[in-house]
Amino acid sequence: MSDGGKMWGARFEGELDPQFAEYQDSLQYDITLAFADLDTNLAWSEALVGAGVLTDDDFDKIAGVIEDLAAQWHEHGLPTDSDAEDVHSFVEQQLVAQLGDLGKRIHTGRSRNDQVATDMRLHLREWVGCLVESIEGLCLALVEKAAQHAGDPMPGYTHLQRAQPITIGHHALAYVEALSRDRERLIDAHNRFDQCPLGSGALAGTAFDIDRIELAARLEFQNGPTRNSLDATASRDHLCEVAFACSMTMTNLSRLAEDYVFFASFEAGFVRFGDAVATGSSLMPQKRNPDAMELIRGKAAKVQGALQSLLTLMKGLPLGYNRDLQIDKEILLPALDATNQSTLVAATAIENAVFDTERCAAEAGRGYLNATDLADLLVNASVPFRDAHGIAGTAVNRAIELGVELHELPANEQKTLLPQLSCDLAESLSVEAVLNRRNVIGGTAPARVRAEVERWRILIAEWAEGYHELDDFNPDEEELELEFTSDD
């Protein structure tokens, strides 16, 4: 077939160079938009009826074929013998094969430019729903881990140096806070891109009397049609925004992974991963490696790279569609999948992480993590904090010389170093006392952690009631995971 048989081939007679033909083929990447493309074809066909281009009978035939194709693809997968160069020509081939000339008429007044922009928003809407659902699952896993260890102490760190005691539950809930913001970012991004570009044509709008408001409603875009055809077909900032939300999610997952990789080390010994998420060494029989968390940490680089690639892709493009934008799908779609898979695996890893609570508690009482509390006790004894800070520091130095903890200082040393205090240091500087003092909103006191667990359980239950922030879309994982494999 000559290139005159392509969707764009009206004035062309020769064949494309074979190497260039393969180079410019995007079907292997955009085939994942096939179901979305069926949706846009159906909605556009109905809009053409309103514009007087098609009849009701034409539409009924088209709708029947589209319904049959969707059912076949769901059940059997996509045909693998197509020579189409992209998903739009692939779907058109399928429609023309069954509808003849009627299938060719569907493209009236439409461009692949507004078609792909619409397909991508529909597909992205499904992905956002899937990602939000996965983040919620990870949040729930962390909340339940926090509930299990609401009162169990562990060392808290700054600069990777022991700082103050916290609870294991407090640490888990810190990541729930971060991931909940990632969830909100995805929802915010969805609400901004939830407009319908279909009807924008190549860049100047369609010449046919299309009711774009009704068209947007048919495709369930909550913010109606896009308001400028040039912007609608040429802009991809919504892809960059979703990529940023994914990058931020992966950054938080990477930090979570880094913490747990350290916790699982022999040096820390705080946590042990179950067999479901750990692997061994081909040489060293004793090894138990936290591979799930390490892979999450590694895949963050892939997602962050996708964000930078999209920004670089966009930075030099003039307004109007440019073929460079074809690359957006092969950049973004793998990043979406990596983010989703990493979030799911993180939840499994958290569920299979077993804390050694005795060791965690013992280590929370070592390393002078109660020095701040000693200064606070001095403040309560009317010592100015700056002076109290210095006195506590001197006490730490003396304790190090003696090889004891602050709460283990001998009575004579307490009398010499801390004459302002008459309390029992062993009791007042115990890990339990240190934790319980921080009974404020956001604090690590076990009572506060338990209260936050209950608050988060209520919030997550409200989330699970049904994506009210995202209106009524429902993620279809089968469509998201659709792959195209050629016979070659």
Match 């020509």 to its residue by tokens.
89
Q: Cα separation of 75 and 80, whole Å?
A: 14
The span from the CA of 234 to the CA of 324, in Å, is 10
The tokens for 331 are 């950049």
Give the phi and the psi of residue 191 in degrees, each rounded to 5. Answer: -65, -25
* CA-wise closest residue to 9 among 82, 85, 117: 85
Q: Estimate the crossing angle of helix 87-99 against helix 56-76, to 10 degrees.
A: 120
Three-point CA angle 440, 444, 448, nearest 5°: 55
How many residues comprise the chain?
488
DSSP code per residue over 158-222: ETTEEEEEEEHHHHHHHHHHHHHHHHHHHHHHHHHH-SB-TT-TTTT--SS---HHHHHHHTT-T
Backbone angles phi, psi at 210, to 5 degrees: -90, 130
- 406, with CB counted inside 10 A (0-12, 13-18, 19+), is buried
- Taking only Cα atoms into account, the Rg of the chain, rounded to an integer number of angstroms, comes to 30
Q: Which residues contact 285 (CB under 8 A, 6 or more apart)?
A: none
Burial class (CB in 10 A: 0-12, 13-18, 19+), 79: middle
Cβ atoms of residues 431 and 165 within 8 Å: yes
Catalytic residues: 159, 281
CA dihedral 318, 247, 226, 322 (to 10 degrees): 30
What is the distance between the alpha carbons of residues 18 and 23, in angstroms, rounded to a whole number?
Answer: 9
Please, which residues bridge with residue 355 across strands?
271
Chain centroid to CA 321: how far? Answer: 28
Cβ(130)–Cβ(480) below 8 Å: yes
Structure token digits, residue 132: 């939000």
Q: Rounded to an integer, what distance in angstroms lies between the CA atom of residue 381 and that of residue 359?
A: 33
